[in-house]
Amino acid sequence: MRKFALLCLLSVLPKIAPAQPTPRVLEHGTYKIHLLLHTIGTEDYSITEATPGSPKEQRVQRILTAISTTSDRGMRRTSTSTLTFGSQLEPISLEQHSGAPASSETQSTTIHGRTATIKEAAAERTIPKPTVAFVGFASMPAPTQMLMMRYWKLHHSPARLPILRVSSQALPLEIRLVGHEAFSIDGHTVRLTRYTVQNLIWGREILWMNDHGRLAAVMTFAGGLPQEEILDEYDSAASELLRSGVRQQVLDLADLDRQVPPLATGSFAIVGARLIDGTGVPAIENSAVLIRDGRIVSAGPAASTPIPTGTRIIHAQGKSLLPGLWEMHLHYSGIEFGPALLSAGITTARDCGGEFGFLTTIRDRIDQQHALGPRLLLAGLIDSGGPLAFGGVDVETPAEAIQAVDLYASAHFEQIKVYTQIKPDIVKVIADEAHKRGMTVTGHVPAALNAFDAIPDGPDQNIMDQINHLQFVIRAMNPDGGVGPVDLQSDRSKKLITLLKQHNIVIDPTNAWGEMAGHSKDIDPDTFEPGLKSAPFTLVTKYRALGVPAADGTKFRERMDTNGKVVRALYEAGIPIVAGSDTNLPGYGLDRELELYVQAGIPPMAAIQTATLNAARAMHLEKDSGSIEPGKRADLMLIDGNPLANISDLRKVTSVVTNGRLYDTKKLARAVGFSR
């Protein structure tokens, strides 16, 4: 009886599974993650032996797990990537979770025999798996790239390595060994091999591998801004690695220069086009513009503008000739930006916060050696706040503020860009020192201020001369500091508009970036940004991932309506507006900004001037550029159509002249993956 009771008791107790062995860790490490040279988090990885799922599963498997934790300006983000692979490093499955805790996204690739199923964003497809191929997504963790490099080498370093993505438009990776270098770390010489990787993101990544197959560091732009990941043991060599990376970017830029030589230099004339010279005067049909040694010699009606015998003629009948556009809010994050911007007719660009060494080096290459790219004007980023700061220059004291301004001034930056966390007393020190050094101050209105605080109610000198992003104007107009609908007839709104006008404050709205980043997910971005149809897959995936839930669509439309009304009110009050696209689709984002201005009621000529003469005036360069007039820089663009009748014709650039050098825009675009 006792035995029977015991058996009954055992039958209802839960069965205890045999203890599972703890996976053996084969490799582990930690990377520091830097954004604009500011440490924002870490990425930990481990490689363990996988436990077979059944006795029949005899294949040797290992698992790479990478967990990154970042905090960028207070926004926390965690990403987990799990890659299972076999004895030949062949991928078996990849699952990646990323995002803020409340909005995590999952992407996956699973390989079954000779087929692979990829789930990415809202799309899914199953494809035949090439014999040699790797897996990954737009934002690939450094440890996953390390496995990718090991796989590539093990499979005889193919010239092109297919990467399994959800779209057939994804190009294979092109991995190139480009150099060897040595660093001294803790008294020991460490040798690294440098590679470039193309088509994983838009632009070429640069990465370094050590002799044991570990990835030491990677320079990437996967998030749209310069980012580095450096293995802990190489952290002391970070500055040397960055300098090496910039040297490599110069070499890559030289490759682009060789791919797209100018069609004309020296002396030539553009004849027959409709001349829209940017000054605001009526267009001249059948014009002639003579260019010599980078300058405009003459411009006017073809019948009365003499062209010296023997001058090369560029026939432009049926086209419109305009000044080259100015992109006034950009984060120039790689050499590919140069050809992309030029292909859109952009001949001058203001960087509003990037990496010092890269920007100054590339700016000088463009200025002194005619490297492919628009003339670069630089705004040096300064913030405060430690972990909450943005960028690598974080000041807390007046002495640090003065030192930071002087650093940028000595490197010939045109402006200082202040950011969100700076305290009022430090902002004042920065502004005073910048003005002493002949610089102007732009940026975000710091959180401790509002636009009224940055503009004195009287004859005193401004703290800020320019404001990035329309939201800071709207916040000041609303008593609650919000970005909702604005009463433009309120005393508060009228007072702000009066102050902006009296002090000639330049506004850089970036409305198109607000549209792209905040559009409702039920709106196809192609409907307002057709440039996506000709953009490379690596960019298309980035912008298609943006947006807000459809449930927030009403707020989005309300916000865009408010933006349009405020921009029109600023224009009608005579407040200078300059066009910029921030981190929108390179080139096309500026076109969209101007389209939104016209939709808001700004005449096409005035909209064009926000990206030509107005911008030149804002940077005190109107005597040198911004319009097609004798003596000015030869920065021009030819387009099909007439943007005074249809502003969207600005998207149809056929040729661009930058500093007197004429290029085919299709060749420029194709060199960096666009099919413009």
Alpha-carbon distances, residue 168 vs 116, 119, 162, 198, 263 (angstroms): 13, 13, 11, 17, 34
pLDDT value of position 462: 84
Residue 636 is predicted with a pLDDT of 98
E strand spans, 55-187: 61-72, 75-86, 91-98, 105-112, 115-120, 123-128, 134-135, 163-164, 174-185
pTM of this structure = 0.94
How far is residue 580's CA from residue 331's CA, in Å, rounded to a whole number? 10
- Residue 613: phi, psi to the nearest 5? -65, -40
As a three-state string, the secondary structure of 240-275 is: HHHHHHHHHHHHHHHHHHHHCCCCECCEEEEECCEE
pLDDT 10s digits, 158-193: 999 999 999 999 999 999 999 999 988 888 899 999
The residues of the chain scoring below 50 in pLDDT are 1-14, 16, 101-102
Classified as helix, coil or strand, 46 is strand
> What sign has the CA pseudo-torsion 129, 50, 41, 184?
negative
Phi, psi angles (nearest 5°) of residue 546: -80, 170
% helix / strand / coil in the chain, to the nearest 5?
30, 30, 35
Cβ burial of 368 (10 Å; 0-12, 13-18, 19+) is exposed
Q: How far is it, in rounded angstroms, from Cα 520 to Cα 464? A: 33
Q: Are 162 and 132 in contact (CB under 8 A)?
A: yes
Instruction: Find the helix or strand (DSSP H, E) in which 100 lies.
Output: none
Determine which helix (DSSP H) or strand (DSSP E) holds 375, and give its type and residue range. Answer: strand 375-382
What secondary structure, in 3-state letters, does 62-76 show? EEEEEEEEEEECCEE
Q: For residue 143, what are the CA distances in angstroms to 39, 54, 63, 114?
A: 18, 28, 12, 25
Strand order in the sheet with 653-658: 274-275, 319-323, 636-640, 653-658, 661-664
Taking a C-beta distance cutoff of 8 angstroms, is the pair 203, 221 a contact?
yes
CATH topology of domain 287-671: TIM Barrel (3.20.20)
What confidence score (pLDDT) does residue 336 get? Answer: 97
C-alpha Rg value of the chain to the nearest Å: 28
The whole-angstrom separation of Cα 98 and Cα 43 is 13
Q: Is 292 helix (H, G, I), strand (E, B) or coil?
A: strand
In whole angstroms, give the CA distance from residue 418 to residue 424. Answer: 11
Measured distance CA(258)–CA(548) in Å, rounded: 42
- Structure confidence at residue 19 (pLDDT): 54
Cβ contacts of residue 172 below 8 Å, gap of 6+?
160, 161, 162, 163, 199
* Measured distance CA(301)–CA(285) in Å, rounded: 7
Write out the DSSP string of 297-317.
EEEEEGGGS---TT-EEEE-T
Q: Is 465 helix (H, G, I), strand (E, B) or coil?
A: coil
Calpha distance 674→236 (Å, rounded): 38
75: tokens are 């926004």
Domain boundaries, the chain: 25-259, 287-671
Give the model's pLDDT for residue 38. 94
Place of tokens 């839930």: 549
Query: Per the structure block, which two tokens stand in for 578?
Result: 């300059």
Which residues are CB-neighbours of 358 under 8 A, at least 6 positions away?
226, 245, 246, 249
For 464-480, write each residue's pLDDT tens digit: 999 999 999 999 999 99
Q: Are strands 636-640 and 506-508 parallel, antiparallel or unpaired?
A: unpaired
Residue 313's pLDDT is what? 98
- Locate 458 and state its tokens: 């009287």
Q: Is 158 helix (H, G, I), strand (E, B) or coil?
A: coil
CA dihedral (270, 271, 272, 276) positive or negative:
positive
